[in-house]
Structure 1
């Protein structure tokens, strides 16, 4: 199976990792052999630095794709509810 990854796939997978860590802001630098990612806390202090080479990105995106396929509709709505709650937002026109 030929691997074709878009920036959207890559950023989605990296974003999931950053969400799990709980960073509040990020900086992503594209490098010749991959990505260098920095995550910062709400005070702007460096919380995490990660370097992903091409092989690591491939593995990360594949794992994210597999996990996405396993999500059910109820799990997806739970993720949305948690995101909205964590970011002090609400879904307009719908009750959760």
Structure 2
């Protein structure tokens, strides 16, 4: 049975990633093969660009659902590691992040 996700679930999962990065405003564009996301800092400067293809969105949504279904949410360092691993696996990078 194919799995389908609502826009609400997709936006929630993507919003979780954007919250972790700390963006202040976003632009979303649905594309034929997925979703293109831009996140901006409080000065309106581009902070991150993410392109989720269909398999990437499915993986993200599945991961969020697994966390909500009884798993303890990871600590900040684990979340950062998870985000960095996800970006690396999908050949993405954070733009304008300073430490």
Do Structure 1 and Structure 2 share a fold, with TM-score over 0.5?
Answer: yes
Listed as ranges, the matches of 1:3-42 within 5 Å are 3-42=3-42
Listed as ranges, the matches of 1:30-69 within 5 Å are 30-69=30-69
Q: How many residues align?
A: 73
Q: Distance between the aligned counterparts of 1:12 and 1:70, measured in 2?
A: 18
Gaps of 5+ in 1: 76-96
TM-score, length of structure 2 as denominator length? 0.69
Gaps of 5+ in 2: 74-99
Superposed displacement of residue 4, structure 1: 1.5
Large movers: runs of 4+ above 4 Å: none
Superposed displacement of residue 54, structure 1: 0.2
Q: Which has the larger radius of gyration?
A: 1
